[in-house]
Amino acid sequence: MKDTIKQFVLDMGVDDVGVTTTPCYHSPLSPDLKELFPEAKSIIVLAYRELSSCDSPSVYLAMNGRMDMMEFSRSCNYKLARYLEKEWYARAMTVSFSYPLDMNSKTMGAVGELSLRHAAVAAGLGVMGRHNLVIHPRLGTRVLFTAVMTDLDLPADPMLEEDLCTGCDICVDNCPAGALDQEGKTDVLKCLQHSQPYGIGGSMKFWNRFIKSNGEEQKKMFRGEEFLRLYQAASIGFQYYCFHCIKSCPVSMKKDQPGE
């Protein structure tokens, strides 16, 4: 059954797929899956290659490539979940690329319902690198994930043992925010300020200045590029302006090869 399901995923055009079980998934900071989906037994993790768009100096092209992938991944998640429900009479729940996220005051939107990095590592799709991202043996760091949780009892794939990170520290040196200076931990605030300058933090700063400004200044602020950027980021969801840790990793430089 597992091989048939994995083939279904690959036939949709997904780059790779791995399976783990709920007891094998450990993510200390994430919610307990027993609370979210008590009958869940397996997690099917889907891996997608990031497009070359992330190499462009245009953050708009880079984000557009990401959005293509996000749209594709949402459709693959739904198709897989419906396939499990229709063909295997299972229950299935999807885990998206990122949002929606719980914006509670403790986690402030920095913790997903399921940690896709922990699930991907448990499903044998890669290992953690110095940049705190999962490195896939073929796709390198240019890999992104979604998942479908199910009550089907599928055997786990073996975890990878090989260390794929070369320890070159290029990701650390290329992080414009210095968010990777401490090994094993990403400084979330530093990363956010740089990668999403028009996210929640940017928006709060703008509106704080706005309420303290007089009428004339407020009119000017509405016509300024900062407001337009905030507006666009808010309508897109999360708009990333930084892809350095992904694109600078030498393990990701390889193009697809014939027959892969």
Applying CB under 6 A, does 246 fall inside the site for ligand B12?
yes
User: Which of residues 108, 128, 159, 164 is near ligand B12 by CB under 6 A?
Assistant: 128
Among 102, 118, 126, residue whose Cα is nearest residue 48:
126
CB of 196 to ligand B12, least distance (A): 6
**Contacts (CB under 6 A) with ligand B12, residues 45-104:** 97-98, 101
CB contact at 8 A, 244 and 55: no
What x-and-dash track marks residues 188-217 binding ligand B12 by CB under 6 A?
Answer: x--xx--x----------------------
∠ at Cα 71 (175, 197), nearest 5°?
A: 35
With CB under 6 A, what is the number of residues at the site for ligand B12? 37
Token pair in block for residue 4: 């048939």
> Does residue 185 bind ligand B12 (CB under 6 A)?
yes
133 contributes a contact to ligand B12 by CB under 6 A? yes
Q: Which of 20, 22, 30, 248 binds ligand B12 (CB under 6 A)?
A: 30
**Tokens standing for residue 198:** 């028009």
Residue in the structure block whose two tokens are 């949780």:
149
How far apart (Å, rounded) are the C-alpha atoms in residues 116 and 135? 13
Q: Which of 56, 132, 174, 193 binds ligand B12 (CB under 6 A)?
A: 132
Stretch that binds ligand B12, among 152-160, 204-212, 220-228, 235-243 (CB under 6 A): 235-243
What is the layout of strands, in order, in the sheet containing 42-49? 16-21, 42-49, 143-150, 92-95
Under the binding rule (CB under 6 A), the answer on residue 253 touching ligand B12 is: no
Residue whose C-alpha is closest to residue 240's, from 28, 76, 68, 62: 62
User: What is the three-class DSSP state of 70?
Assistant: helix
When binding is defined by CB under 6 A, the residue of 121, 152, 160, 249 that contacts ligand B12 is: 121
**Residue 111 binding ligand B12, by CB under 6 A:** yes
| 256-260 own/partner pairs: CB under 8 Å, 24+ apart | 256/49, 260/138
Residue 221 as a binder of ligand B12 (CB under 6 A): the answer is: no
Phi, psi of 7 (to 5 degrees): -65, -40
143 makes contact with ligand B12 (CB under 6 A):
yes
User: CB under 6 A: which stretch of 82-90, 125-133, 218-226, 251-259 binds ligand B12?
Assistant: 125-133
| Cβ closest to ligand B12, residue 22 vs residue 195 | 195
Give the nearer residue to ligand B12 in terms of CB position, either 148 or 192: 192
Q: Which two tokens stand for residue 5?
A: 């399901």
At 176 the three-state DSSP class reads: coil
Chain position carrying tokens 């507006």: 231
Binding site residues, ligand B12, CB under 6 A: 27, 29-30, 97-98, 101, 110-112, 114-118, 121, 128, 131-134, 141, 143-146, 184-186, 188, 191-192, 195, 240, 242-243, 245-246
